[in-house]
Amino acid sequence: MKNFRLVVAAAAAAGLVVIALPFAIAQQGPTSDSSETVARPRKKDTTPPPADVIDSTTNNSSNTTNPPSNATNPPSNDSTDSTDEPKIPSKFSKKDKPDIPEGAPTFHSDVTTVQLDVAVLDKNGHFLPGIPREKFRVLEDNVPQQITSFNVNSEAPMTIAMVIEFSNLFQRYYSQGWYETLVASYGFVQTLKPQDYVAVIAYDMRSEILCDFTTDRGKVQEAMQRLRIPGFSEANLFDALADTEQRMSNIEGRKAILLVASGRDTFSKITYDKARKVIQENGVPIYAVSMLQAMRITAEQYMSDVQRLDFLQADNEMNTFARESGGQAYFPRFFGEFPNIYQSISGALRNQYSITYKPSNQTKDGKFRKLKVDLVDPQTGDALRISEQGKPVKYSVITKAGYTAPRDVE
C-alpha cells in the first residue's frame, strides 16, 4: 500500500512538472545564449552553406514575389565581432593627422569674455541710477580692463532660490528660532513679483527641494507649509550652499540665493574652503540673512568662550560667502528690519549695471582672478563723488569678487 502511494505521488509530481513547464518557459521570455552579451557578441558562422541549399534559396527567391502573410522571417543577427570589421580610424588621432593644404584658413576662438552685474547702493541699500559708462573702472588682478559693452537692466525679473535652515538645532517647534525663520521666509515671498521664479530648499542633515523654480505662488505656499516640525539636529550649511550654487550655475538671467540661516555648520561633507571655492567658481550671488541675533545678544553673558567663537565664526562665514559671490549679508536684530532688507535685495537684483569686457590676460591657466569695480572721475582718476541735494552720498559697489579662468583643452 505504501509503495502504491509513492507511485501515485511520483506520477502526480511528474504531471505538475509537465503542466508547469510551458508556463515557466513562457514567463522566462525568449531564450538567449549566456555567452553572448552586448559587449561580447557571438561570432558569425563563416562556414559556407552547401551548394544545393544556395541553389534552392536562389530559385525560391526568384519565383516568389509576395510571400504569404503567415510566413515567418528568419531571425537576423546584426551583432558582429570586433575582429570581423576593420577599426574605424579616429580623425583626432595624433598619429594619423589629416593633411591640411598649405595656406588653407583655420579658425579657432581663444577669446574669453567676462560679464559682471554691478549694483551701486547708498548706505540705505537704495540703487543709484544714471551713472555713465566712462565712470566705471574694472580691475582684474589690479590691472585696468577695457569695457566692451555696458547697459542698465531695470526692473528685470528675478530667479531666487530660498535656502532655509530648518533643523532641531535652532528651529524646534514653536521656539523663537522657528518663529523667526518662518517670519523671514514668508515675508520675502510676499515681496516677489508675479514674473519672478522662486524655489524653496530646506536643509538640516541634507538639503531637500520643497518646491522647484516656479511662478505659481500656490506651489510656493504649499512648500512653505511643510516647514513645521524639523527632523534632525544637524545643519549642513556648506553642503546645501554648494549644491544650490552648482544647480543654478547654468540658469540665465538675474539670479540669486537667499540664505536664511544661523550660519552654523555641524556635519557637512565638504569643508569651508571647498564650499568657498564652489561659490567663487559658480558666481551666483548670495544674500544672507542671519537669524537669532537678538537671542544671541541676550544669552551672550551665559555662553562659554567656545560658543561665542562658534557664532562669530558663523557670522564671518556668511559675510564671506555673500561678499565673494557679489551679494550682501544682513544681521537683523528686530522683525521690523526685514522689510528694509527685502527692499535692499530687490533693488540690488532688479536694478543693476551689466558690464562686459575681454580680459587682457587671456592665459587659460585655471587660476582665480580677483575683480574690483570702482567709480572714478575719468579726468583725474580719483574716486567719484556722488551728491544729492548738495550733500555727499556714501555708496558701495557690489559685484562678485572674481572668477576662475578656463583651462586650455588639449
277 and 166 in one domain?
yes
Determine the structural domain holding residue 140 and report its residue range: 114-153+354-404
Give the pLDDT score at 99. 55
Q: How many domains does the chain have?
A: 2
| 176/310 same-domain check | yes
Q: pTM score > 0.85 for this model?
A: no
Single-letter amino acid, residue 378: P
- 285 and 182 in a single domain? The answer is yes
CB 177 within 8 A of CB 162: no
Task: Give pLDDT, residue 41.
Answer: 46
14 in a structural domain: no
Strand spans (E) along 188-304: 197-203, 207-214, 254-261, 286-290
Residues 166 and 305 both lie in one domain: yes
> Which of 305, 328, 350 is the C-terminal boundary of a domain?
350
Q: Tell me the per-residue pLDDT of 266-293, one tens digit each, with 9 for 90 and over.
A: 989 999 999 999 998 888 999 999 999 9
Quick check: 285 and 184 in contact, CB under 8 A? Answer: no
Name the grid cell of 161. Answer: 532660490
Residue 235 has pLDDT above 90, yes or no: yes
In whole angstroms, give the CA distance from residue 215 to residue 199: 9
Q: In terms of Cα–Cα distance, which of 181, 244, 158 is closest to 208? A: 244
Q: Do 126 and 204 belong together in one domain?
A: no
Residues 127 and 180 placed together within one structural domain of the fold: no
User: Residue 88: its pLDDT value, please?
Assistant: 44
pLDDT tens string 185-232: 999 999 899 999 999 999 999 999 999 999 999 999 999 999 998 888
SS3 53: helix
Same domain, residue pair 360 and 214: no
- DSSP assignment letter at 369: E
pLDDT in tens, 323-337: 999 899 999 999 889
Structural domain includes residue 92: no
Does residue 70 belong to any structural domain of this protein?
A: no
| Rg for the chain, CA atoms, rounded | 34
Per-residue pLDDT at 5: 52
Q: Which of 269, 258, 276 is nearest to 236 (CA)?
A: 269
Do residue 263 and residue 377 come from a single domain?
Answer: no
Residue 26 lies in a domain: no
Q: Are residues 365 and 328 in the same domain?
A: no
By C-alpha distance, which of 275, 313, 277, 278 is closest to 296? 313
Task: Examine the domain organization and report whether 346 and 360 are in the same domain.
Answer: no
Same domain, 305 and 284: yes
Backbone angles phi, psi at 122, to 5 degrees: -85, -175
User: Which of 29-33, 153-157, 169-173 is predicted with the least confidence, judged by mean pLDDT?
Assistant: 29-33
| Locus of grid cell 558569425 | 44
Q: How confident is the model at residue 53 (pLDDT cuts 50, 70, 90)?
A: very low
CATH number at residue 205: 3.40.50.410
Residues 325 and 189 reside in one and the same domain: yes
Strand 391-392 and strand 387-388: the pairing is: antiparallel
